[in-house]
């Protein structure tokens, strides 16, 4: 197969000779926005992330195979790919572990008042607080029960939480006490102490967290978003955080980077991180294994 591989696969150059040993012809380009180092029609397969945000997929007339370095499919023209029967593989499972750890970490920072104690440490202030919370016994609602959601469920379950899921499809899983469909969301959202968003960005999920959703949250609820920024109506979230006793752990945003003028930066009930939850020291190893297996087998 003639493969065009981009720098989205960070350690790709270590494996080019191995791929060529399997009989593949490989061309590497570092930056996906740069001019293509070959004619688009040359490539039969690509390993990339946002290549088709910068180059028209229609020009890749011999394309048969796409391997993404991301878990999400929102950066590729899925309908075109399906129509032309191009094999599409994502990086399912590669980033689930660090993202799940991040979700737990964010909630614990709020429950244990980590920011307050850190500030007190800076000023050498010895001040006890008697209102710290426990994760034990809390209702955790995970919206999106795929690989990331399942890893979140496992970790929150280890703290003694009750785990409820909401997903686009119904299925049984030993990691969830119960999974509901999106149409039942209104009945379970008000019961949640913690809500973790891990659902994909689709037409059905864009703006899913709207004003109605936010004003149904119980007092003290922590909303964690590690999916995509556009699943939340940012304006509605900002308003709700200003007037309600709720919290948010936000790693993704509608527009990235988050504007310096955004009020979210300065809210005491918000933790802001720069789309960083997927980073972990084991992710590169998992991605390397997945991509090599995918190219050899033609699928993950």
> Which sequence positions are flagged as catalytic?
228, 256, 275
Q: In angstroms, rounded to a whole number, what is the distance separating the alpha carbons of residues 209 and 32?
A: 32
Decide if 38 contacts 25 (C-beta within 8 A).
Answer: no
Please tell me the distance from the alpha carbon of residue 123 to that of residue 256, in angstroms, as a whole number: 33
**Where do we find the tokens 């006793």?**
245
Query: Would you call 260 exposed, middle or buried from its count of C-beta atoms within 10 A (0-12, 13-18, 19+)?
Result: exposed
How far is residue 91 CA from its own chain's centroid? 11
Q: Which helix or strand (DSSP H or E) is residue 40 part of?
A: none
Per-residue CA distances from 43 to 2, 68, 79, 151, 287 (Å)? 5, 15, 20, 35, 21
Tell me, what DSSP letter sits at residue 126? -
In a 13 Å sphere around the CA of 183, the CA atoms on its Cβ side amount to: 2
Tokens 């940012």 belong to 234
């Amino acid at each position: 197969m003639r493969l065009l591989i981009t720098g989205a696969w960070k350690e790709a150059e270590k494996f080019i000779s191995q791929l060529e040993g399997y009989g593949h012809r490989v061309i590497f380009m570092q930056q996906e926005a740069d001019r293509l180092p070959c004619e688009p029609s040359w490539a039969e397969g690509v390993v990339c992330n946002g290549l088709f945000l910068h180059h028209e997929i229609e020009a890749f007339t011999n394309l048969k195979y796409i391997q993404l370095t991301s878990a999400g499919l929102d950066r590729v023209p899925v309908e075109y790919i399906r129509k032309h029967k191009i094999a599409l593989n994502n990086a399912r499972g590669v980033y689930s572990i660090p993202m799940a750890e991040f979700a737990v970490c964010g909630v614990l920072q709020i429950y244990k008042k980590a920011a307050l104690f850190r500030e007190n440490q800076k000023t050498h202030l010895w001040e006890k607080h008697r209102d710290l919370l426990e994760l034990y016994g809390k209702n955790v609602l995970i919206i999106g029960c795929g690989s990331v959601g399942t890893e979140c469920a496992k970790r929150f379950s280890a703290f003694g939480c009750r785990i409820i899921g909401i997903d686009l499809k119904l299925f049984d899983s030993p990691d969830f006490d119960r999974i509901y469909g999106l149409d039942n969301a209104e009945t379970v959202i008000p019961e949640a102490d913690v809500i973790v968003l891990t659902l994909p960005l689709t037409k059905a999920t864009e703006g899913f967290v709207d004003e109605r959703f936010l004003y149904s949250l119980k007092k003290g609820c922590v909303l964690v978003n590690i999916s995509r920024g556009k699943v939340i109506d940012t304006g509605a979230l900002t308003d709700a955080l200003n007037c309600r006793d709720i919290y948010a752990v936000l790693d993704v945003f509608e527009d990235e980077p988050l504007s310096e003028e955004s009020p979210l930066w300065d809210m005491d009930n918000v933790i802001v991180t720069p789309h960083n939850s997927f980073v972990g020291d084991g992710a590169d190893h998992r991605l390397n294994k997945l991509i090599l297996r995918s190219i050899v087998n033609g699928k993950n």
